[in-house]
Every structure is written in C-alpha cells, then in structure tokens.
Amino acid sequence: MENPEQQNNTEHSSSTHKTRIEQEAVISFLESHNKEPVSNIEIVAGGEGSQAFSFESNREDLILRMNRHSEEGFKKDEYAFNNFESQEIPIPEINEIGKTEDDQYFAISKKVNGKMFKNLSLEELNEALPSLFSVLDAIHSIDVSDSGGYGKWNSEGVGENQSWKDMILSVDMYAKHMFENSILEKEVWDKIYDRLVELTQYCPEEKYLIHGDYTTDNIIAKNGKVEGVLDWADSRYGDYLYDIAPLSFWERNFDYEKAYLEFCESKGKKIEHFDERVLCYKLYVGLGSLSFFAYSNQQDKYERSKAKLLELIKN
C-alpha cells in the first residue's frame, strides 16, 4: 500500500518486504535489455512494493519499475491504460512487462512530466485541486456495471468479492493469524474493527470504478493540471467515496475531505452519510496498513498508524 507516511518516515525502520535493487544492477539490466542506448538513470522514490528508476532511451523519457513479488500490479496498470485512459483520465502507457534473469518482475512505461502532488507548494496545490477532483469524478464515471465482482479486481478486470461489504469486512481475513507471531495487538485490532463493522451500515452497494490508492505520491501535476494517475495495483469496484479515504488518512497538512465536499457542493452534488462512509474506509485503510507494518516488522510505522486509528474512533 502506497502512502506519504511510508515514504517520508523510513529512517527508523527497515521493512522486511520492500524491494531494494542496486543502481548498478539496474544499469546492467537496461544496457543488456534495451536495443537503444540508455542514459540519465536515476532512482525515483518508490514504495514498499516496487523500486522505480527514470531513464532516457531513443530520446524518450521512461520509467522502469522492478519488484520481487508479482507482476499483477503492472498488469493492472496495463489494463487501466487499455480500458480507462482518456483526456480526462491521464494514465501512462506501459511499453513492456517482463521478468529478469534473476527473477525480478519489471515494467517499463512512459514517464509523466510534472511534480508529484505531495511535492507541490500550497499555492500550486490549490491551483490543481479542481483538476485533482475532476479526474477522480471521471474515474468514477466509467461504467463498470458489467464487470464481475466487487473489491480488488485482477488483471482481467474481475473483482474478487461478492459484495462491497464483503470486501470491507475481509480486512480481518489475515490479521487473525498474526496476533501470536507479530507485533499486531488483538485488543487494539478488535476495538478498531468493531467500529468499522458498525459503520458498514452506511456503506452503499453501488458499483463504481475506484482507483484505490489516490494519494499524493500517485498523482502527477503540472501547471495546475493532473498529468498522470499512477499505480492502479490497488484499484477496485465499489463505493466511490473510498478514494477519499487514502488521500485523507495519510495527509497531515491539508484537509482533503473538506476540499472534496466543497468541490461537490460547487457541482450541486449532495452525498449521504459522507462522514460515516469516509471514516469506515479510513479505518479499513488504516487496519490494512497496521497489519502490513506488523507483517513487515516496522514498529515505528505500526505505532503511528495505531495512534492515528485510535484517535479516529475517539471522535
């Protein structure tokens, strides 16, 4: 799961899950793999799953991502480009997906020029907000009624759950096996999970396309306009309000919930049970992160996520 907190707070913890690839190995791979010469290879800030590098080849700016776990996320990016990309939803094209000789999965895609949303100044952020939410509206407007299932969809566009509520409640699926063998605390988990269960009564079974990880490190903007929506690995089908939860949960310096409500009001759009639904999804995002940080033995991030979640259910 990608988020700013994961990227900005790495000095006190070491993930057992994160992909780490030496730049020399990347240079060697690109030079042997590419037919054209490569240049200007640079590390790009990556998340827990993949390590990313930018490079130039044949006068084209490209991105290489590599991970040691799965190619499914890369294939979902390819599916998203082939099925959802438009002027309203800018998605970078995937040039190639493959596997290296040392069993690393890789994807090469076109580079999107601009700044990550998290790196915008406050003035630049406010200028780009209408575009941020307009792109989100365009994503939610895509008709996925004929797509099978709810929740996370696979590289063929089929959701893995029978209902939206099933997906929300499934966050408990793996945690119950971790209480004895990790830092995950059952009492804390149950307290937060019980509140999540209560809130599911407000969550509709409507079916929308959801990006799933619409956070400030997956959105590229330039001159007040979103130029690229990255990383569709966590995309799913369900309640469109889910996309506000990751954006809000990890942000400490800007109120995206308030900004989104103001955007909706400007469009004459009224949303029922906004607070309850977004809180439910923030608890889902937070519980997923809590179990991941326990699984990858990242004590400091685990404690920060726990504190944030306990604060949410106090209000």
- Among 62, 86, 110, residue at a domain's last position: 110
The CATH number of the domain holding residue 37 is: 3.30.200.20
Q: How far apart are CA 77 and CA 272, in angstroms?
A: 31
Alpha-carbon distance 294 to 288, whole Å?
10
CA distance 214 to 219: 7
How many helical (H) and strand (E) elements, i.e. helices and strands, does the chain have?
Answer: 10, 12
Q: What's the token pair of residue 12?
A: 């006190």
Distance CA 237, CA 84 (A): 14
* Of the residues 83, 110, 137, the one at which a domain ends: 110
User: Does residue 276 belong to any structural domain of this protein?
Assistant: yes
pLDDT digits (tens, 9 = 90+) for 96-136: 999 988 888 999 999 999 999 999 999 999 999 999 999 99
- How far is it, in rounded angstroms, from Cα 258 to Cα 299? 31
CATH number where 288 lies: 3.90.1200.10
**Has residue 315 got a pLDDT over 80?**
no
- pLDDT attached to residue 5: 38
Single residue among 110, 127, 149 that ends a domain in this structure: 110
Alpha helices in 109-230 (DSSP H): 122-140, 164-169, 186-199
Average pLDDT (181-209) is: 96
Can you give the pLDDT at residue 242?
98
Six-digit token string for 31: 């030079």
Return the axis-axis angle of helices 274-295 and 186-199, rounded to nearest 10°.
Answer: 150
On average, the pLDDT of the chain sits at 90
| Among 92, 85, 90, residue whose Cα is nearest residue 110 | 92
pLDDT at residue 18 is higher than 90: no
Q: What is the pLDDT of residue 16?
A: 46
Residue 33 confidence (pLDDT) above 70: yes
Q: Which two tokens stand for residue 116?
A: 């990550």
> 52 with 161, same domain?
no
pTM attached to this predicted model: 0.90
Is residue 220, in this structure, part of any structural domain at all? yes
How far apart CA 297 and CA 275 sit, in angstroms, is: 32
- 83 domain-assigned: yes
In a domain, 3, yes or no: no
DSSP state letter for 89: S
Q: In the chain, how many domains are there?
A: 2
Do both 170 and 296 map to the same domain?
yes
Residue 267 lies in domain: 115-314
Q: How confident is the model at residue 19 (pLDDT cuts 50, 70, 90)?
A: low
Whether 6 is covered by a domain: the verdict is: no
When pLDDT is averaged across residues 81-98 and rounded to a whole number, the result is 97
The string of pLDDT tens digits covering residues 212-244 is: 999 999 999 999 999 999 999 999 999 999 999
The phi and psi torsions of 145 (rounded to 5 degrees) equal: -65, -30
**Whole-number Å distance between alpha carbons of 228 and 145:** 25
Higher pLDDT, 31 or 242: 242
Once rounded to an integer, what is the mean pLDDT over residues 190-196? 97
Same domain, 84 and 123: no
Judgement on whether residues 170 and 294 belong to the same structural domain of the protein: yes
Rounded to a whole number of angstroms, the distance between the first and last alpha carbons of the chain is 25
pLDDT (0 to 100) of residue 48: 61
For residue 1, what pLDDT is reported? Answer: 40
The verdict on 299 and 244 lying in the same domain is: yes
- Tell me: do 300 and 153 sit in the same domain: yes
50 with 189, same domain? no
Same domain, 91 and 150: no
